[in-house]
Amino acid sequence: MLVCVLTGFSSGLPLYILIQLLPGWLEDEGVDIKTIGLFAWSTTPYTWKFLWSPLLDRFVPPFLGRRRGWALVTQVALLFSIAALAPLDPAVSVWPIAYVALAISFFSASQDIVLDAYRRELLPDEELGLGNSYFVNAYRVAGFVPGGLAFILADRIPWSSVHLVVAAFMSVGIVATLLIPEPEVDGPPPRTLREAVVEPLLEFFRRRGTRSALEILAFLFLYKLGDNMAVALSTPFYLQIGFTKTVIGTTAKLVGFWAAIIGGFFGGALMLRIGINRALWLFGVVQIVSILGFALLSVSGPDQTVLAGVVAFEYLGVGLGTSAFVAFMARTTNKRFTATQFALFSSFIGIPRTLAASLTGFIVDALGWTTFFLVCTALAVPGMLMLFRVAPWNGDRASAPEAL
């Protein structure tokens, strides 16, 4: 479980730099909301990471082993890429910032490929729910650094120094990678690129059947669509309705931090008792209600009490939903092809985050914040309806053997 916490923090930090720190920094420097929304395209590598995931299955670095070796390479690259934001000025360097953001996204997506595979190979099936709950909530806790600490510091020191401080937190992942063991797996890695690329896809469709496999992919696309859109511009939203950077860094992020911690313990323990399928149902409902909290905040204005309540419920509810969601994906993979299959599944999560989130600035500009959040709520419903097909309420026992 400690390994899941440390790797979760390392995996979450770069994503929250892209979706929280970067939009807030650009808003603070006077970049218009439409341009900020288009920066969601910098997360495109998360959508396409399944294209190079077979390479990380096929080739083994000459140090630390297949999983730890690639993890170290990506983490060192992330440390330097994040630090590269320090000398850039949004007023004159929007395109260079976009290129650096794209590099951060590429190395972050590559790190996710490795750590997702590592976690699947490390955890036995009965511990997937608990382990992924710890991982996801540590992933979300990592957001406190770029989304909380960074904004507190930005009121006191230049943004250039803030970026260097945030980059230094990648050392958590680097140290963890040097200390954790390489997981034991049955059989050697794929011997050819064809074996690494084609066989994982064929195995998934053979095991599940074409119709069921397509339904699972549709579910992965839809389940967090509304949530991804709702939080894509959360930091500019807080700033626009009147909250200061310090309030965002303290009230919003500290409350979210403790809510995520509580959610990690509660969600993991509950999944052990009720199973992954029922958790998807319960946490999905909470996830939908949490989006409505943002609509409430858009009406109430800069009220710190309302902000604290909305953020706490969002971190608790959506964090729980993500824990069950990631556990479902892990259960659906075959351990022989972990990296490629997990990358394929998580890529479908990245599609709405990139495509839909890139349009959020235009939607907000046209409809306003309140209507925008109501639209996000409506878009969360189809994913819940897909649960009837892919994760029936009493279906855990029936679906468990398919993950072996």
Cβ-based neighbours of 355, under 8 Å, separated by 6 or more: 47
pLDDT of residue 260: 67
Q: Which amino acid, residue 283?
A: F
pLDDT of residue 118: 83
**Residues 14-55 pLDDT 10s:** 988 888 888 888 887 777 777 777 777 787 888 778 778 888
pLDDT at 249 over 80: no
pTM for this prediction: 0.67
Token pair belonging to 207 = 């095991």
> What is the helix (H) or strand (E) element at residue 365, kind and residue range?
helix 338-367
Rounded distance between C-alpha atoms, residue 136 and residue 117, angstroms: 14
Q: Shortest CA distance to 225 belongs to which of 386, 389, 375, 353? A: 353
pLDDT classification of 60: cutoffs 50, 70, 90: confident
pLDDT of residue 396: 59
Rounded distance between C-alpha atoms, residue 238 and residue 150, angstroms: 15
pLDDT classification of 306: cutoffs 50, 70, 90: confident
Question: In a 3-state reduction of DSSP, which class is residue 147?
Answer: helix
pLDDT at 382 over 70: yes
What backbone torsions phi and psi does residue 333 show, to the nearest 5 degrees?
A: -85, 160
pLDDT of residue 371: 92
Hey, which of 264-273, 274-283, 376-385 has the most confident mean pLDDT?
376-385
Q: What percent of the chain has pLDDT over 70?
A: 87
Q: Which amino acid, residue 277?
A: N
pLDDT of residue 241: 85
Cβ-based neighbours of 81, under 8 Å, separated by 6 or more: 100, 103, 104, 107
pLDDT classification of 129: cutoffs 50, 70, 90: low
When the pLDDT of each residue in the chain is averaged and rounded to a whole number, the result is: 81
Q: Which amino acid, residue 150?
A: A
Domains contained in the chain, CATH given:
2-403 (1.20.1250.20)
| 8-state DSSP, 52 | T
pLDDT classification of 400: cutoffs 50, 70, 90: very low
pLDDT of residue 128: 67
User: What is the DSSP code string of 301-353?
Assistant: -S-HHHHHHHHHHHHHHHHHHHHHHHHHHHHHS-GGGHHHHHHHHHHHHHHHH
How many other C-beta atoms are found inside a 10 Å radius of the C-beta of residue 51? 14
pLDDT: which is higher, 188 or 377 = 377
- How far the first Cα of the chain sits from its last, in Å, is 21
Question: Among 170-174, 222-226, 240-244, 258-262, which stretch is predicted with the lowest mean pLDDT?
Answer: 258-262
> What is the helix (H) or strand (E) element at residue 54, kind and residue range?
helix 53-58
CA angle 312, 317, 318 (to 5 degrees): 105
Rounded distance between C-alpha atoms, residue 221 and residue 229, angstroms: 13
pLDDT at 106 over 90: yes
Question: Among 31-40, 134-143, 171-180, 262-271, which stretch is predicted with the lowest mean pLDDT?
Answer: 262-271
pLDDT of residue 250: 74
pLDDT at 399 over 50: no
Average pLDDT over residues 182-206: 74
Average pLDDT over residues 176-185: 82
Token pair belonging to 127 = 């511990």
Sign (positive/negative) of CA torsion 14, 19, 22, 24? Answer: negative
Helices 304-332 & 94-122 angle (0-180, nearest 10): 50
- Please give the torsion angle defined by the CA atoms of residues 388, 389, 394 and 397, in that order, rounded to the nearest 10 degrees: -160
pLDDT of residue 319: 61
**Chain-centre distance for alpha carbon 354:** 12
pLDDT of residue 253: 65
Question: Among 99-108, 137-146, 346-355, which stretch is predicted with the lowest mean pLDDT?
Answer: 346-355
pLDDT at 379 over 50: yes
Token pair belonging to 124 = 């036995």
